[in-house]
Structure 1
Amino acid sequence: MTLLESIKEPQDLRTLSPPEVGELAAEIRTFLVRAVTRTGGHLGPNLGVVELTIALHRVFDSPVDHILWDTGHQSYVHKLLTGRQDFSGLRGKGGLSGYPSRAESAHDVIENSHASTVLGWADGLAKADEVLGRRRHLVAVIGDGALTGGMAWEALNNIAAAGNRPLIIVVNDNERSYAPTIGGLAEHLATLRTTDGYERFLTWGKGVLQQTPVIGQPLYGSLHGAKKGFKDTFAPQGMFEDLGLKYLGPVDGHDTAAVESALHRAKRFHGPVLVHCITEKGRGCLPALADDADRFHTVGRMNPLTCEPLVVPAAASWTSVFGDEMAEIGAERPDVVAITAAMLQPVGLTRFAEEFPDRIWDVGIAEQHAAVSAAGLATGGLHPVVAVYATFLNRAFDQVLMDVALHGCGVTFVLDRAGVTGVDGPSHNGVWDMSVLQVVPGLRIAAPRDADRLREELREAVDVDDAPTVIRFPKEPVGEPIPAVGTIGGMDVLHRAPDPDVLLVAVGALAPLCLQTADLLAGAGIRCTVVDPRWVKPLDEQLPVLAAQHGLVAVVEDNSRAGGVGWAVGQALRDAGVDVPLRSFGVPERFLAHAGRGDVLAEIGLTPVEIAGRVSAVLERRAAAGERIRPKENGA
């Protein structure tokens, strides 16, 4: 039995000798490389926190003591040490989540997998403990990248305001989130990293001066009294101490003994303490360290020995199509600029950054700032393109509404990973954007069905200078072009049968699914028109006219059914006095468990067979009730 296999719960760690702790760390890294390369997942972040996680569980008594993980993609080691060592189904249906999960273990206190939130959680839990007279330790682990988020500093301000509340903040400082961390805070932490000689200097001074007759003791006292001044000069951790936080560090996050020593000191302090640990993302995996883009932040299935991908995408990704077109537009339009929130490479802006380095800004994990800054750029005469994951734009809704839309700013938001993403679980599905943004006056939303439409609609979006625009696309490969067989108003007709019964409104990347549904319905004698509205907000004025020529309208979208495109189509039909029955197919109003995208779509009924069956059933019920199926205009 290996040391790792002998660890069934955190208490088992406390019997290990220092050499055994080092052996366990090596075993964990070997396990992670083998397991994560089989399934895909967050490899680099977890390789970087092995010793830190071991130390946390040796010092604190989880789950009585609460260890809270910001973002949570670095919780694999935590899972291994809390009895979850079957990684065979990681991020798959029925397998382990790639993030903390309350359903899996009492050791997983919170499931947040959006960055910069853990300090707010910790503040609330600490206040609850104070009110209820509960005594335990609360440890919040946050990355240096997440500290660029404004929510983290709002929480720090509140935590420091009540300086007697015990709370330990562990900063996992690896100089990068997805990519190298940027901004003023990053510079501050970088300064701290370079001043490890300060404490050695103070220790030397104590030893030498205290042995110096007569003047040694007074000199050391003066030096010790000036400690704050020296720290501000040589290591500006005064930034944290001025907030009211005790600062410990920087500590080598891969030296378990040093981390444990710092955590024990923090544990004894009756107030908020910040322990600053320096770690190396991707540690122990040479290919990860050689990949300076993101240190294997997330990997697909790979050869565990060479780390070469086992599955090479057969088609281009939506992200790469967007990135190339953005670079082309940038060459033609010097007024087009780009903003990203700590994910320049994941959203496809690498080429734009290489070709136009003075026209792109990475604002860190700060989506709210990205939106407001974009409003300023637009007001200043530029056209900013803000590229983020769809799930992260939720965080900036107020700024989109009140800063961008209210001021009529020409800002284009490009939402990658829109719709069901699957393996990263409920927090990363981008299934709320078309619902949330429906209420924003003047905003326009495009959902391209293929690469050609993405290029077209991106160019249409950046031509709009008096209102915000949104382009959304999914994570899956982009697929083959889907040509239109005609147009109605601004809509593309993808399939048209004579004397049709059903109008299928295909939203974005679900167009192929709708065409397959039309084929199945045709086999049952049900004729369809399939239309791609291209811009789903506002809907084309010809849509109600087209709907009136059919006996049933079905809207298929990769978004929440609550307030989504189906809702908007229904409102448009009512406003136009069109009484055609409508059925909406989309994401139900619940959080979807992690699984492959195909598995999730099947579970919620977004498959050709399911949709065709439900449409057929509606028509059969209407026919049995003696209702007219086809409008008179169709000759029924």
Structure 2
Amino acid sequence: KDEIERLLLAIPRVGEGMLKLAKSVEGTAKQLLVPGKLFEELGFKYVGPINGHSLPQLIQTLREYRDWPHPVLLHVVTRKGKGWEPSEQDPVFWHGATPFSLDTGEVAKKKPGPPSFTSVFGKTLTELAHSDPRIVAITAAMPEGTGIDVMQKAIPERVFDVGICEQHAVTFAAGMATRGMRPVVAVYSTFLQRAFDQIFHDVCLMHLPVTFAIDRGGLVGADGPTHHGCFDLSYMRIFPEMVVMAPKDEDELRHMLATAIACNRPAALRYPRGTGSGVVMEGPPRALPLGKAEVLRSGRHGFIWAIGTMAGGALRAADKLCTEGGPDLTVVNARFVKPLDEALLAAQLMPGSRIMTVEENTLTGGFGSAISEAIARLGIRDVTVECIGIPDEFQPHGAQDILRARLDLDFEGIARRARAFFPLEAAGPRRVHRAG
């Protein structure tokens, strides 16, 4: 190469121009033909592409470059689902496999049961989109996982998959909202954390009506510590104008989605992984009054405020305590973390009251914190608050039921904590009082 450059420069008058042209052609050719050129310009040693299914080649390459004095980018090519024909043919379906036959590929049939929160969301979004042409759906490479594949099949021109780019998904939604659309960003809770800055700058600061449908909120179980959605209620409620909701069941999810789209401001609804409780779907989706909680049960000895699906466990716990002669408690389905129903809170509490909060979210800055802040803001003195939730530590891998039980987030745990927190002498079994 050096010799060729010297020969070109030796040509009178045109040699220097020919050398510049040759270098330009070389650079263009490298950009087109050498896949690692970009990384080499950033200072990386680019190696590859190599066969990621060849263990000997991988070991040899890693050994060869393990002592390299500069950053190394190893380009490894693999095939998703490699080694089993059904998964090679349909890698999306087999990404998260349920029990199946290795011989036939037939998936074990599930017992009939309530629909999942994800499927209810997908069907409701599609139903609303059919009646409102402004609604568009956005996903970051998770149409099946978030349930918007239902709308993708029905109205494909209004569903956008931006790839694994959550930050872009949020900014893209903001841009569409500026043009009068009603974008719904469907995303797993743990992945929305990547777009924190875009939620702030591009949506909330701009006062834009973007809906965040936050799936896998709370403890997700099998996917482990990286996928638990333990922080969303805390970080979403800090943004001015943001509405933050969590449904107690799959029917309330439908109405909260309608609420979020109709409220003309940034809004988030979070719901868990798994099936609903099998409640009856009441009528078409309708907007709920913003910031209004729901009293599920009226009692005389204290208050439990729960958010999301924890409301069901709190209600069971209160019924259990009452029938066993324990405290007779009022149970409130908060519905909204923000805006909080401070009017109801002020009407219920007085000096000396006791209130317990229950959330499947970190206790740091979460729903319990919002209740405590509201009590202080309302100036209600001598109120004792007990918060049940996820402690300030990362949660391990494990089945949802097991993880909830160890954190007192199942109804037995809530009942146990409530019995200790509302100390009353046994008064014998009492009738259960349901609100409404």
CA deviations on 1:371-415 (whole Å, 9 max, x unpaired) are 222222211221111111111222222221222111101111111
Please, which of 333, 343, 365 is the counterpart of residue 542 of structure 1? 343
CA deviations on 1:345-371 (whole Å, 9 max, x unpaired) are 111111222223232222222222222
- Pair 1:510-2:310 in alignment: yes
RMSD value, Cα: 2.9
**Is the Cα–Cα contact under 8 Å of residues 116 and 273 in structure 2 kept in the other structure?**
yes
**Is the Cα–Cα contact under 8 Å of residues 482 and 494 in structure 1 kept in the other structure?**
no
Please, which of 618, 624, 629 is the counterpart of residue 421 of structure 2? 618
CA deviations on 1:305-358 (whole Å, 9 max, x unpaired) are 334344616221111110111111221121111211121211111122222323
Please, which of 366, 379, 385 is the counterpart of residue 577 of structure 1? 379
Classify 1:224/1:585 alpha carbon distance in 2 versus 1 (closer, same or farther; 3 Å): same
Classify 1:345/1:444 alpha carbon distance in 2 versus 1 (closer, same or farther; 3 Å): same
Query: What SS does the aligned partner of 1:620 have?
Result: coil
**Is the Cα–Cα contact under 8 Å of residues 247 and 274 in structure 1 kept in the other structure?**
yes
Which letter does structure 2 place at the counterpart of 1:287?
A: P
**Match for residue 527 of structure 1?**
328
Aligned residues: 395
CA–CA separation in structure 2 for the residues paired with 1:271 and 1:361: 39
Query: What SS does the aligned partner of 1:288 have?
Result: helix
CA–CA separation in structure 1 for the residues paired with 2:190 and 2:290: 32
**Is the Cα–Cα contact under 8 Å of residues 489 and 542 in structure 1 kept in the other structure?**
no
Please, which of 133, 149, 157 is the counterpart of residue 334 of structure 1? 133
CA–CA separation in structure 2 for the residues paired with 1:362 and 1:483: 29
Which letter does structure 2 place at the counterpart of 1:300?
A: T
Which letter does structure 2 place at the counterpart of 1:544?
A: L
Aligned-pair CA distance for 1:439 = 1.4
**Is the Cα–Cα contact under 8 Å of residues 327 and 422 in structure 2 kept in the other structure?**
no
**Match for residue 401 of structure 2?**
598
Which letter does structure 2 place at the counterpart of 1:584?
A: C
List runs of 5+ in structure 2 lacking aligned partners: 1-21, 283-288, 426-436
CA deviations on 1:116-164 (whole Å, 9 max, x unpaired) are xxxxxxxxxxxxxxxxxxxxxxxxxxxxxxxxxxxxxxxxxxxxxxxxx
CA–CA separation in structure 1 for the residues paired with 2:144 and 2:281: 30
Q: How does 1:344-383 map to 2 (within 5 A)?
A: 344-383=143-182
**Match for residue 434 of structure 2?**
none
Aligned-pair CA distance for 1:225 = 12
Which letter does structure 2 place at the counterpart of 1:611?
A: I
CA deviations on 1:38-90 (whole Å, 9 max, x unpaired) are xxxxxxxxxxxxxxxxxxxxxxxxxxxxxxxxxxxxxxxxxxxxxxxxxxxxx
**Match for residue 96 of structure 2?**
298
Which letter does structure 1 place at the counterpart of 2:272?
A: P
**Is the Cα–Cα contact under 8 Å of residues 251 and 281 in structure 2 kept in the other structure?**
no
CA–CA separation in structure 1 for the residues paired with 2:48 and 2:340: 56
**Is the Cα–Cα contact under 8 Å of residues 544 and 578 in structure 1 kept in the other structure?**
no
**Is the Cα–Cα contact under 8 Å of residues 359 and 367 in structure 2 kept in the other structure?**
yes
**Match for residue 266 of structure 2?**
468
Classify 1:520/1:483 alpha carbon distance in 2 versus 1 (closer, same or farther; 3 Å): farther
CA–CA separation in structure 2 for the residues paired with 1:488 and 1:344: 29
Which letter does structure 2 place at the counterpart of 1:291?
A: D
**Match for residue 23 of structure 1?**
none
Classify 1:226/1:442 alpha carbon distance in 2 versus 1 (closer, same or farther; 3 Å): closer
CA deviations on 1:177-226 (whole Å, 9 max, x unpaired) are xxxxxxxxxxxxxxxxxxxxxxxxxxxxxxxxxxxxxxxxxxxxxx9998
Query: What SS does the aligned partner of 1:439 have?
Result: coil
List runs of 5+ in structure 1 lacking aligned partners: 1-222, 624-636
CA–CA separation in structure 2 for the residues paired with 1:585 and 1:407: 35
- Pair 1:278-2:77 in alignment: yes
Classify 1:230/1:259 alpha carbon distance in 2 versus 1 (closer, same or farther; 3 Å): farther
Query: What SS does the aligned partner of 1:247 have?
Result: strand
Which letter does structure 1 place at the counterpart of 2:344?
A: L
- Pair 1:308-2:110 in alignment: no
CA–CA separation in structure 1 for the residues paired with 2:202 and 2:52: 41
CA–CA separation in structure 1 for the residues paired with 2:164 and 2:51: 25
Which letter does structure 2 place at the counterpart of 1:582?
A: V
Which letter does structure 1 place at the counterpart of 2:228?
A: N
**Match for residue 29 of structure 1?**
none
CA–CA separation in structure 1 for the residues paired with 2:67 and 2:416: 64
**Match for residue 248 of structure 1?**
47
**Is the Cα–Cα contact under 8 Å of residues 237 and 337 in structure 2 kept in the other structure?**
no
Query: What SS does the aligned partner of 1:559 have?
Result: strand
Which letter does structure 2 place at the counterpart of 1:515?
A: L
**Is the Cα–Cα contact under 8 Å of residues 115 and 278 in structure 2 kept in the other structure?**
no
CA deviations on 1:492-517 (whole Å, 9 max, x unpaired) are 222224xx212221211112211111
Q: How does 1:109-128 map to 2 (within 5 A)?
A: none
Classify 1:585/1:311 alpha carbon distance in 2 versus 1 (closer, same or farther; 3 Å): farther
Q: How does 1:150-229 map to 2 (within 5 A)?
A: 229=28
Query: What SS does the aligned partner of 2:237 have?
Result: helix
**Is the Cα–Cα contact under 8 Å of residues 137 and 184 in structure 2 kept in the other structure?**
yes
Classify 1:326/1:488 alpha carbon distance in 2 versus 1 (closer, same or farther; 3 Å): closer
- Pair 1:389-2:188 in alignment: yes
**Is the Cα–Cα contact under 8 Å of residues 418 and 473 in structure 1 kept in the other structure?**
yes
**Is the Cα–Cα contact under 8 Å of residues 298 and 329 in structure 2 kept in the other structure?**
yes
CA–CA separation in structure 1 for the residues paired with 2:248 and 2:258: 15
- Pair 1:607-2:406 in alignment: no
**Is the Cα–Cα contact under 8 Å of residues 292 and 340 in structure 2 kept in the other structure?**
no
**Is the Cα–Cα contact under 8 Å of residues 422 and 600 in structure 1 kept in the other structure?**
yes
Query: What SS does the aligned partner of 2:309 have?
Result: helix
**Match for residue 496 of structure 1?**
298
**Is the Cα–Cα contact under 8 Å of residues 483 and 494 in structure 1 kept in the other structure?**
no
Aligned-pair CA distance for 1:228 = 5.6
Classify 1:232/1:399 alpha carbon distance in 2 versus 1 (closer, same or farther; 3 Å): closer
Aligned-pair CA distance for 1:271 = 2.7
Classify 1:259/1:548 alpha carbon distance in 2 versus 1 (closer, same or farther; 3 Å): closer
Which letter does structure 2 place at the counterpart of 1:298?
A: G
**Is the Cα–Cα contact under 8 Å of residues 488 and 542 in structure 1 kept in the other structure?**
no
**Is the Cα–Cα contact under 8 Å of residues 307 and 336 in structure 2 kept in the other structure?**
no
Aligned-pair CA distance for 1:556 = 1.0
Aligned-pair CA distance for 1:479 = 1.4
**Is the Cα–Cα contact under 8 Å of residues 326 and 419 in structure 2 kept in the other structure?**
no
**Match for residue 565 of structure 1?**
367
Classify 1:256/1:590 alpha carbon distance in 2 versus 1 (closer, same or farther; 3 Å): closer
Classify 1:585/1:257 alpha carbon distance in 2 versus 1 (closer, same or farther; 3 Å): closer
Query: What SS does the aligned partner of 1:345 have?
Result: helix
Query: What SS does the aligned partner of 1:296 have?
Result: helix
CA–CA separation in structure 2 for the residues paired with 1:365 and 1:489: 33
* Percent of residue pairs bearing the same amino acid type: 36
CA–CA separation in structure 2 for the residues paired with 1:349 and 1:488: 25
**Is the Cα–Cα contact under 8 Å of residues 310 and 409 in structure 2 kept in the other structure?**
no
Which letter does structure 2 place at the counterpart of 1:493?
A: V
